[in-house]
Amino acid sequence: MSVGVLAHLLGKLPYKELAGKVAERGFPYVQLALAKAFSDVDSGLGRLNPGLAQEVGGAFAERGVRIAVLGCYASLVELDDEAYRHNVDRFKEQLRNARHFGAPIVATEVGGMKDPELRPQHMERLNRALEELVEEAERWGVTIGLEAAQGHLIDSTETLAETIERFPSSCVGVVLDPCNLMNRQRFEEQDRTIREAFRLLGARVVSAHVKDLRRGADGSLKETAAGLGELNYSLFFELLEQYKPYGFATLEAVTEEQMAEAARFIREGRAAARLQTRQ
């Protein structure tokens, strides 16, 4: 079972150097957030083009590394018109160029809000943004990967499922991170939370993120590397292999020193789950 990594966790480096470092670590694919990963590539709005994308994608391919996902973490719920337009246009630009990187997916968390009373306005912005982005994704044959995250407008299985229902296009999928679905209450019922996520979203999962959570002395949840926390990964891997066998699984919240052990944890866990699904 292969395991990927967020490319920028290996440092912000020249793109050829970063491609080599990923390969040396034994990762066959990455999620690539351009602005976070490269020190020698200007990926700002208006700069992306097929030639640049093929140059970067080719450097990774030469080292045996695929770009599984482009991470375009741009808030799609901004109420400031200029910021909103910039973010939507940047996402559309990555959708247009994704295939030249070799990436089938462009992923994002949708953004948060400071004032809950403004939720309807933020939701209107999100719906308007997704209307544009879905049209662009369908035009270029690329998948939008939406990810829930605490503190964001989409912060749970339910809010993500509702969004997917509003935009049923086959070009809209889910990046499933079980830790991002958890708050204190849900973590106490984590098996139920994980099962519900796959029940409502499993058919639309296009990639998974893998990190872990552990409870602090005050009961707060702290992120850590996969295998070092309390998440029931046996259940998560079982359901991931059941719904999306061999699907992308990408390391998050891990230091370079932790990467080898975290990757082993995922490979072994998924292999065991796959054997179980065959029985």
pLDDT band at 279 (very low <50, low <70, confident <90, very high): low
Beta-bridged to residue 215, according to DSSP, are: 221
Q: Is the pLDDT of residue 85 over 90?
A: yes
What is the mean predicted confidence (pLDDT) over 248-267? 98
Q: Is the pLDDT of residue 73 over 70?
A: yes
- Whether 35 contacts 6, CB under 8 Å: no
What is the mean predicted confidence (pLDDT) over 102-128? 97
How much is the pLDDT for 94? 98
How much is the pLDDT for 30? 98
Q: What is the pLDDT of residues 22-53, one digit of tens each?
A: 999 999 999 999 999 999 999 999 999 999 99
- Whether 137 contacts 95, CB under 8 Å: yes
Q: Is the pLDDT of residue 205 over 80?
A: yes
Q: How far is CA 264 from the centre of its chain?
A: 20
How much is the pLDDT for 275? 86
Three-class SS state of 43 = coil
Q: Which contiguous run of DSSP H or E holds residue 64?
A: none
What is the mean predicted confidence (pLDDT) over 168-182? 97
Q: Helix 259-278 crosses helix 233-243 at what angle (to 10 degrees)? A: 60
Q: What is the pLDDT of residues 48-72, one digit of tens each?
A: 999 999 999 999 999 999 999 999 9
In the block, residue with structure tokens 């699904």: 277
How much is the pLDDT for 276? 80
How much is the pLDDT for 278? 74
**DSSP string computed for 91-146:** HHHHHHHHHHHT-SEEEEE--B-S-GGGHHHHHHHHHHHHHHHHHHHHHHT-EEEE
What is the mean predicted confidence (pLDDT) over 221-234? 98
Percent of residues, the chain, with pLDDT higher than 90: 96
In the block, residue with structure tokens 């246009």: 89
- Whether 1 contacts 29, CB under 8 Å: no
How much is the pLDDT for 252? 98
Q: Is the pLDDT of residue 260 over 70?
A: yes
pLDDT band at 1 (very low <50, low <70, confident <90, very high): low
Which tokens in the block code for residue 43? 């990926």
